[in-house]
Structure 1
Amino acid sequence: MSMKPLEFDRRYGELDQVISAYSGMPADDEPDRPSEALQAYLRHTWHTRPWALASAEQQIREYARNPPGRLRLSLGEFYPVPDVGLPESTIRDWLFVIADHLKQSIEQGEVPPPSTPRTHWEWHARFPELGQLLGGWFSQDMPDEFPDHDAAVRDYTATTDPQLVARLKGELHELIALALEESDYSLAVAELGMEVDPPQPYSPSGWLAHLTDGLNGFKADYGPGPATS
């Protein structure tokens, strides 16, 4: 019987978050050096959910101590570690190395300084609603679905909860405030799922600023107000 969602989260929820950070990244952690993927997880989690680090360390260490057999994996009773490019025989030791890095970071209070995201996972973890907009409304199919970029944005605001639109505004302000080089803004929108060029004459940063201005003027439609006498 597959594991219930609540039980899965209790036993493997934060373990899954850590392993997700390795998507497309090498699992090259060493005892004296965490991988780029683990550094991204530590950097983001310390600044957003620091209490989750202890859960991650505990879940990873427990999993490494009691690795599942093939039968229990096939029954859905254990978390199957995705392929991270390591031989199966080395996964257990690798997990212990990750757990040790997490423990050291917690016990010594090694809080990474804020930084521009450096991995695909970190871009999406830090800017989830912007990733939703760019990946969902500005894929390569966008020119076939909308007459222009502004029409795509209008469709997003018309079909998205106003609270999520407000979250998007905050993420846009945060991204613009990073004051990146233009090439880095190009990388940012690509990492977040945008597959079309910004409209002329905008650069990526200019279009993000234009998008922010447009959303600042957005007023949610809450329907007719209460009748007054």
Structure 2
Amino acid sequence: MPLTPLQHDSSYGELDQVLHAYAGLGADDTPERPSEALAAYLRHTWHTRPHALAAAEAQLRSYARTPPGPLRLRLGEFYPVPDVGLDEDAVRDWLLLLADHLRRSIEAGEVPPPCAPRTHWEWHARFPELGQLLGGWFSQDMPDESEDHDAALQDYLDTTDRSLVTRLAGELHELLALGLDEGEYTVGLTELGLEVDPPDSFSHGAWLVALAHAVLAAGGTGRQE
């Protein structure tokens, strides 16, 4: 019988978060140093949901100690570990290594200093609503769906719940507060789903400032339930 959402989240939910942090990255952790993916997970989770670290450590260790057989995976009764480029026999040791890194970080109180996101997963974990805006309204389909950038933004404002518009305003100002250079803004917006150039005469950084002003000026607008 396939896992129910409750069974998945209670047994594998935080393990799933850890492994999603490896999307597009190598599982190149060593006993001395966590990988870039695990470092991103640690950095974001310490500053947003520190209580989740212990759950992740326990779920990683439990899965490594009791791996599922092929039949249970085929029936959907067990969480399937995504392909991270390791042989099946090496996955168990790798999961235990991740658990060791998490335990060491928790017990030593090693909180990574805040900084700009460094991985695709971290960009979306930190700026989820901005990713929703850029990936949904400023993808390569934008020229066919909207007259221009302003029209695309207005459509987002008209169809999105007011609380999410408020969240977007906070994320835009948080991103600007990082004080990134133009190249870093370009990388960040691309990671978050932007597939079109900013309006004419705008750099990526300047357009981000204009977006922040426009969303803040919208204030209480946005769809109400």
Sort the TM-score into its range (normalised by shorter chain). Answer: over 0.9
CA–CA distance in structure 1, aligned partners of residues 57 and 77 of structure 2: 20
**1:154 — aligned with what?**
154
Shift of 1:215: 1.1
Does the C-alpha gap of structure 1 residues 17 and 222 become closer, same or farther in structure 2, counting only changes over 3 Å?
Answer: closer
**1:164 — aligned with what?**
164
Q: Which runs of 4+ in 1 moved over 4 A?
A: none
CA–CA distance in structure 2, aligned partners of residues 21 and 198 of structure 1: 28
Matched, 1:220 2:221: yes
**2:58 — aligned with what?**
58
**2:38 — aligned with what?**
38
> Which stretches in structure 2 are left out of the alignment for 5+ residues?
none
Shift of 1:214: 0.9
Aligned-partner residue type, residue 39 of structure 1: A
Shift of 1:217: 1.4
CA–CA distance in structure 1, aligned partners of residues 68 and 121 of structure 2: 26
> Which stretches in structure 1 are left out of the alignment for 5+ residues?
224-229
Q: CA RMSD in A?
A: 1.0
CA–CA distance in structure 2, aligned partners of residues 127 and 40 of structure 1: 14
CA–CA distance in structure 2, aligned partners of residues 44 and 222 of structure 1: 30
3-state SS in 2 of match to 1:217: helix
Q: TM-score, normalised by structure 2?
A: 0.97
Shift of 1:171: 0.2
**2:69 — aligned with what?**
69
**2:124 — aligned with what?**
124
**1:7 — aligned with what?**
7
CA–CA distance in structure 1, aligned partners of residues 50 and 178 of structure 2: 22
Higher radius of gyration, 1 or 2: 1
**1:90 — aligned with what?**
90
Shift of 1:216: 1.4
Shift of 1:200: 1.1
Aligned-partner residue type, residue 84 of structure 1: V
- Identity of paired residues, percent? 66
Aligned-partner residue type, residue 141 of structure 1: D
**1:19 — aligned with what?**
19
**1:103 — aligned with what?**
103
Shift of 1:8: 0.8
**1:202 — aligned with what?**
202
3-state SS in 1 of match to 2:89: helix
3-state SS in 2 of match to 1:27: coil
Q: Tell me if the contact between 2:159 and 2:223 (Cα under 8 Å) persists in the aligned partners.
A: no
Q: TM-score, normalised by structure 1?
A: 0.96
CA–CA distance in structure 2, aligned partners of residues 49 and 222 of structure 1: 29
CA deviation map 1:149-192 (0-9, x unaligned): 00000000110000000000000000001110100000010000
Shift of 1:96: 0.4
Aligned-partner residue type, residue 89 of structure 2: S
Aligned-partner residue type, residue 175 of structure 1: L
Count residues with an aligned counterpart.
223
Does the C-alpha gap of structure 1 residues 222 and 131 become closer, same or farther in structure 2, counting only changes over 3 Å?
Answer: closer
Aligned-partner residue type, residue 194 of structure 1: L
CA–CA distance in structure 2, aligned partners of residues 25 and 200 of structure 1: 34
Shift of 1:145: 0.6
